[in-house]
Structure 1
């Protein structure tokens, strides 16, 4: 089943591609622009924001990571705070699939918002029947 891209959930993998200007970053950049123009709605779970943050700390140190986070949170996307229902949904996904718990929050967010997951993480190949993936 093909889901039209009206809603997209950004995985940390996609955001890190953008920040490191790795292959596929232009697609991430263009989708963020589409979010800004409101032609699609973008979402990112705060659990995955935490992933980006700790990886940024490791790469550049805490001071620069805090500056990055402040700017990052200005992106034209909705940052989703997981509630109890979403936490349980992520746990159920984790029980069914051998993927990271943080990745389960990408999927739970996508399910809630009828969205595709934007990632390049090969772990998501296991879950494409649950949530469609837009690959970068």
Structure 2
């Protein structure tokens, strides 16, 4: 699969993941669950959804899931989120505190890191089978 097609699929998975995450938050808030638990549950569901869809559809990995593959995915998620926070901190220092510009830049860095690390570290061809 081409890099462009994989990136497009990754983006579509992200959009779907966002919709699912918001639905989980909405449902839990309606059930009286607080903001923090609803947010945590949403991220939990989102990480699982992201793993399955990116593995099978974006990067077309087949076969059984190895525990090392899951560990790599969670590591990539954490590193990408760290890059997000780093960019957000930088943007705040540049005068973009409480700004959609700062948040947008942070989201772009997160998405780029998550895609590239997923493609080359988590779901690289033949890697999951090892």
Higher relative contact order (CA 8 A, sep 6+): 1
Q: So what's the TM-score if we normalise by structure 2? A: 0.34
Q: So what's the TM-score if we normalise by structure 1? A: 0.33
